[in-house]
């Protein structure tokens, strides 16, 4: 055994676990099938702009332990996520707040807005049978039609009447003029990009890129006492029980010779006819400036297209319906039989986690695992 831990995947979960293991004096090897570290939080510098290659990532948390931890490895700016919704050229503030309601109905006071929503919610009687009824029962017909329906149908590739109600358990409605989407105590973007954050987490740790563990399993599964696996759990078992389903995302990136394309980091296109779900303009995550505070003359935009996942695509969002949840439980039972393999991260546990939750779970797993290791 050359290592105490082999960590498969250099995303946030793997990098945090690796950092904790190394801090505890363990010998760690990190491998990744991609040619870069960072998993889906990887950022690539283009014309001075840190481009979020796998979709926008905005760090937000109410967990002070996690916030203090990440700030040891990166300095965060003060970015606040305030997306804009574009419905056929009409622009609305997100999340749903007083600016949204004023644009939608001309109301000015929270009392007027609440009365309008309460009136429209009455359309649904009894328990909502699908996502459309659930959304209308929460925010009314007007907001559903303009700001939820088209966007959701593009995301899931299905009509809202054919989607289960539980997908939208609640919708944030704020009777204030507050455009802060996450409303978290701590939020921002790591200055220098997420790649720099992950580099700092992995400092002093051996990393091998372009290594596909599953294709080179015989050469790697016996070089460490324990394996932390953060890839898809069904792929680890060669899909022997079946294939878990995901939604995927495709990106079309464009470098534009202009200083400003849309004036905001994220604009959601909520009509059904526009093929993309949103456009991200990456420079605005760092206020359109380089590390020296100079204005950047060019801009990079990414159009996002939601798609059905198939083998070979990047899996993004697990389809947490009854069929897939049952299948994951079967794979989890298989995983429990392995004494030397730990499954973690969003793919290893078939879960969609925000970044702060991913980090919190990695810290918890590392603490538990390292205690066990030493005993």
Catalytic residues: 170, 174, 247, 278, 304, 352, 354
Write the CB contacts of 330 (distance below 8 Å, at least 6 apart in sequence): 241
User: Using CA atoms, how far apart are residues 146 and 85, in angstroms rounded to an integer?
Assistant: 9
DSSP one-letter code for 255: E
User: Using CA atoms, how far apart are residues 102 and 112, in angstroms rounded to an integer?
Assistant: 10
Q: Which of 200, 223, 204, 199 is nearest to 213 (CA)?
A: 223
Which own/partner pairs from 102-106 qualify as long-range (CB within 8 Å, at least 24 positions apart)? 104/142, 104/143, 104/146, 105/142
Break the chain down into helix, strand, coil percent, rounded to 5. 35, 20, 40
User: Using CA atoms, how far apart are residues 147 and 36, in angstroms rounded to an integer?
Assistant: 36
The CB-side HSE value for 374 (13 A sphere, CA atoms) comes to 9
Coil vs helix vs strand at 134: helix
HEC readout, 266-307 = EEEECCCCCCCCEEEEHHHHHCCECCCCCECCCEEEEEEEEE
Q: Which of 358, 356, 194 is nearest to 286 (CA)?
A: 194
Distance of CA 115 to the CA centre of its chain: 34
Output the CA torsion sign for 97, 98, 99, 104. positive
Residue labelled with tokens 């993004």: 316
CA distances (Å), origin 184, targets 40, 43, 248? 22, 23, 27
Output the CA torsion sign for 171, 104, 306, 78. negative
User: Using CA atoms, how far apart are residues 315 and 358, in angstroms rounded to an integer?
Assistant: 16
Burial (0-12, 13-18, 19+ Cβ within 10 Å), 291: exposed
């Amino acid at each position: 055994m050359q290592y105490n831990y082999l960590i498969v995947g250099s995303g946030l979960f793997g990098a945090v676990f690796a950092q904790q293991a190394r801090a505890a004096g363990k010998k760690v090897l990190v491998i990744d099938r991609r040619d870069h570290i960072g998993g889906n939080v990887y950022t690539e510098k283009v014309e001075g702009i840190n481009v979020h290659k796998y979709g926008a990532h905005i760090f937000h948390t109410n967990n002070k332990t996690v916030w203090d931890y990440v700030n040891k490895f990166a300095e965060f700016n003060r970015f606040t996520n305030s997306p804009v919704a574009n419905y056929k050229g009409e622009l609305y503030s997100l999340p749903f707040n007083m600016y949204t309601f004023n644009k939608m109905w001309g109301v000015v006071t929270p009392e007027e807005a609440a009365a309008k929503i309460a009136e429209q919610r009455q359309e649904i009687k009894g328990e909502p049978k699908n996502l459309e009824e659930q959304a209308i029962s929460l925010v009314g017909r007007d907001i559903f039609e303009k700001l939820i329906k088209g966007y959701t149908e593009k995301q899931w590739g299905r009509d809202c009447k054919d989607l289960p109600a539980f997908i939208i358990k609640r919708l944030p409605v704020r009777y204030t003029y507050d455009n802060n989407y996450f409303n978290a105590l701590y939020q921002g973007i790591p200055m220098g990009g997420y790649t720099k954050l992950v580099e700092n987490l992995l400092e002093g740790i051996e990393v091998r890129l372009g290594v596909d563990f599953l294709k080179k399993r015989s050469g790697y599964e016996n070089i460490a006492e324990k394996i932390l696996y953060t890839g898809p759990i069904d792929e680890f078992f060669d899909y022997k029980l079946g294939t878990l389903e995901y939604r995927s995302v495709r990106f079309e990136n464009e470098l534009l010779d202009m200083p400003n394309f849309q004036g905001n980091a994220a604009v959601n296109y909520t009509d059904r006819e526009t093929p993309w779900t949103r456009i991200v303009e990456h420079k605005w995550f760092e206020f359109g400036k380089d590390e020296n505070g100079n204005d950047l003359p060019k801009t990079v935009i990414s159009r996002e297209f939601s798609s059905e996942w198939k083998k070979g695509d990047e899996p993004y969002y697990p389809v947490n319906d009854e069929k897939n949840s049952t299948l994951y439980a079967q794979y989890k039972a298989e995983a429990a039989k392995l004494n030397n393999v730990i499954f973690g991260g969003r793919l290893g546990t078939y879960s969609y986690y925000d970044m702060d939750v991913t980090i919190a779970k990695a810290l918890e797993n590392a603490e538990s695992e390292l205690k066990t290791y030493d005993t």
